[in-house]
């Protein structure tokens, strides 16, 4: 038997929730892709949504607004509740309390069939016995449009996802990436107000994934369709989203643009989940200075009071490496020994062991050019610099 989501997606008209049959807007009629305008009303509002499975709390009082035309990614480690939240937006899961407001209407109690969305799952969920064209046409058939109009729309959709001429192929005759394009065309067939993507790229191999993610993001912008995507892949979220919602054990840890989340994480969890981060434990010794072991670092971004326990964070690409004997007036330098390094293709990831009592090595990323200039070799003695303006400080919890 099909999984609930598979049954839901193949109901076509129902899943996109046009309660009365209507002619889909053509692609050209959809609003032009636009990043959220904060002055406009949100298209989707999640208000105080809470979800319990028995005694287990999967979502804790979630508030989230999504603006018209915005691409929002729900990102977080396995089990943080992102799929549950997406399913609540779709009506495939019922929240324990709280409301979902879509386009000004409280849809909290509506079944999926009465809501206005298209959805794509990781597993494609295509009908194996229907061709690509028949899969895409499935929901359109309930609109009672003339056959040639449906065919024209199917062709338009297949062309839109780069599958012109694939009309008569069956899912088994298509690659995973092609099947997912069909699933996307099907989700968009009725021009829903909201596109929901549940890990749509996870089953694809790395190269196809990157290609398709660019295409989906471009298509989303072109159509201007408000989109919520679940992913556990931070690179995917950073590349595709207008805003990223980082989730952690049932709560929202931070919401922001990819740049803001990466450059100004609010917590060590977010800092560590998005990209790689070096952490050094220490204590504030004066207003903008922090002692970590035997190093005292200038930290102009520090807001913690004197004597507070602190965690200093710095990205691998922000640490500079300079030759061992260097300018002694340079702030935040520390001697270090190369522990190991690995070739990344575009550069090197170097593990450096700082002088003193630090137990953890510091991860640094440098270009191949820098590696050659430094004559990188195991046990080499170098000087690391933590640029003051690029280090972040968190309270130690
Ligand atoms: N039907 C259910 N019954 C009981 N617990 C559930 C149910 N669905 C989800 N959970 C639990 O709720 C938590 C959140 O699940 P959810 O699927 O939303 O996580 P996720 O962030 O999407 O993780 P993943 O990336 O692994 O899918 C998990 O601990 C999961 O075990």
Taking only the tens place, the pLDDT of each residue in 3-53 is: 333 323 322 222 322 222 223 333 333 333 444 445 689 999 999 999 999
Distance 196 CA to ligand 1 centre (A): 17
User: What pLDDT was estimated at residue 327?
Assistant: 63
Q: Quick one: tokens of 282? A: 């220490």
Low-confidence winner among 40-49, 83-92, 168-177, 323-332 (lowest mean pLDDT): 323-332
Atom 31 of ligand 1, residue of closest alpha carbon: 79
**Residue 63 CB less than 6 A away from ligand 1:** no
Low-confidence winner among 49-58, 61-70, 77-86, 268-277 (lowest mean pLDDT): 268-277
Coil, helix or strand for 377?
Answer: coil
Whether the per-residue pLDDT at 176 is higher than 60: the answer is yes
User: What pLDDT was estimated at residue 32?
Assistant: 38
| Dihedral angle over CA of 106, 100, 198, 17, nearest 10 | -10
Give the atom of ligand 1 at the shortest distance from the alpha carbon of 93. 1
DSSP H or E stretch at residue 206: helix 206-223
- Classify residue 298 as left (phi > 0), alpha (psi -120 to 50) or beta: beta
Atom 26 of ligand 1, residue of closest alpha carbon: 78
Atom 22 of ligand 1, residue of closest alpha carbon: 83
Confidence grade of residue 234 (pLDDT, cut at 50, 70, 90): very high
For residues 259 and 265, the answer to whether their CB atoms sit within 8 Å is no
Whether the per-residue pLDDT at 376 is higher than 50: the answer is yes
Distance 58 CA to ligand 1 centre (A): 7
**Residue 241 CB less than 6 A away from ligand 1:** no
Nearest to 44 by CA among 242, 256, 227, 257: 227
Distance 252 CA to ligand 1 centre (A): 15
Q: Return the higher-pLDDT residue of 262 and 35.
A: 262
Lookup result for tokens 């009592």: 357
User: What pLDDT was estimated at residue 38?
Assistant: 55
The fraction of the chain above a pLDDT of 70, given in percent, is 88
Average pLDDT of 369-378? 89
First and final C-alpha spacing in the chain: 48
**Residue 53 CB less than 6 A away from ligand 1:** yes
Low-confidence winner among 107-116, 124-133, 157-166, 358-367 (lowest mean pLDDT): 358-367
Whether the per-residue pLDDT at 240 is higher than 80: the answer is yes
User: What pLDDT was estimated at residue 324?
Assistant: 67
Distance 16 CA to ligand 1 centre (A): 24
- Classify residue 375 as left (phi > 0), alpha (psi -120 to 50) or beta: left
Please choose from 50, 83, 232 the residue to mutate so as to test ligand 1's pocket, defined by most ligand atoms within 8 A of CB.
83
**Residue 73 CB less than 6 A away from ligand 1:** no
Distance CA 223, CA 76 (A): 27
- Classify residue 79 as left (phi > 0), alpha (psi -120 to 50) or beta: left
**Residue 68 CB less than 6 A away from ligand 1:** no
Distance 166 CA to ligand 1 centre (A): 36
What is the reported pTM?
Answer: 0.85
Average pLDDT, the chain: 88
Average pLDDT of 310-336? 85
**Residue 84 CB less than 6 A away from ligand 1:** yes
Write out pLDDT tens, residues 273-321: 998 999 999 999 999 999 998 889 999 999 999 999 999 999 999 999 9
**Residue 80 CB less than 6 A away from ligand 1:** yes
CA angle, residues 264, 267, 268, in degrees to nearest 5: 105
Confidence grade of residue 355 (pLDDT, cut at 50, 70, 90): confident
Distance 147 CA to ligand 1 centre (A): 42
Give the atom of ligand 1 at the shortest distance from the alpha carbon of 54. 4
Distance 87 CA to ligand 1 centre (A): 11
Atom 19 of ligand 1, residue of closest alpha carbon: 79
Atom 7 of ligand 1, residue of closest alpha carbon: 53
């Amino acid at each position: 038997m099909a999984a609930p989501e598979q049954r839901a997606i193949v109901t076509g008209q129902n899943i996109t929730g046009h309660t009365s049959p209507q002619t889909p807007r053509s692609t050209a009629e959809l609003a032009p892709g636009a990043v959220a305008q904060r002055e406009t009303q949100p298209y989707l509002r999640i208000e105080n949504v809470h979800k319990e499975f028995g005694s287990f709390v999967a979502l804790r009082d979630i508030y989230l607004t999504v603006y018209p035309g915005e691409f929002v990614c729900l990102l977080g480690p396995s089990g943080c509740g992102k799929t549950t939240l997406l399913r609540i937006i779709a009506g495939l899961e019922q929240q324990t309390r709280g409301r979902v407001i879509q386009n000004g209407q409280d849809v909290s109690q509506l079944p999926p069939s009465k809501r206005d969305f298209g959805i794509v799952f990781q597993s494609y969920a295509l009908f194996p016995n229907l061709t690509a064209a028949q899969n895409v046409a499935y929901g359109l058939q309930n609109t009672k449009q003339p056959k040639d109009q449906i065919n024209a729309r199917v062709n338009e959709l297949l062309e839109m996802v780069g599958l012109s001429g694939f009309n008569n192929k069956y899912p088994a005759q298509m690659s995973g990436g092609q099947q997912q394009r069909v699933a996307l065309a099907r989700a968009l067939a009725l021009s829903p107000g909201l596109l929901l993507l549940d890990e749509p790229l996870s089953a694809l191999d790395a190269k196809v994934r990157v290609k398709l993610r660019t295409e989906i993001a471009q298509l989303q912008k072109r159509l201007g369709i408000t989109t919520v995507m679940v992913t556990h892949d931070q690179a995917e979220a950073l590349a595709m989203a207008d805003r990223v919602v980082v989730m952690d054990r049932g709560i929202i840890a931070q919401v922001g643009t990819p740049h803001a989340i990466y450059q100004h994480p609010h917590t060590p969890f977010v800092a560590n989940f998005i990209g790689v981060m070096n952490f050094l434990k220490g204590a504030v010794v004066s207003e903008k200075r922090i002692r970590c072991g035997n190093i005292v670092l200038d930290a102009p971004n520090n807001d913690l009071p004197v004597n507070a326990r602190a965690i200093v964070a710095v990205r691998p690409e922000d640490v500079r490496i300079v030759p061992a004997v260097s300018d002694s007036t340079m702030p935040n330098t520390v001697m270090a020994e190369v522990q190991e390094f690995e070739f990344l293709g575009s550069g090197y990831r170097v593990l450096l062991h700082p002088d003193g009592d630090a137990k953890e090595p510091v991860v640094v990323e440098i270009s191949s050019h820098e590696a050659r200039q430094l004559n990188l070799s195991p046990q080499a003695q170098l000087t690391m610099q933590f640029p003051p303006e690029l280090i972040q400080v968190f309270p130690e919890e």
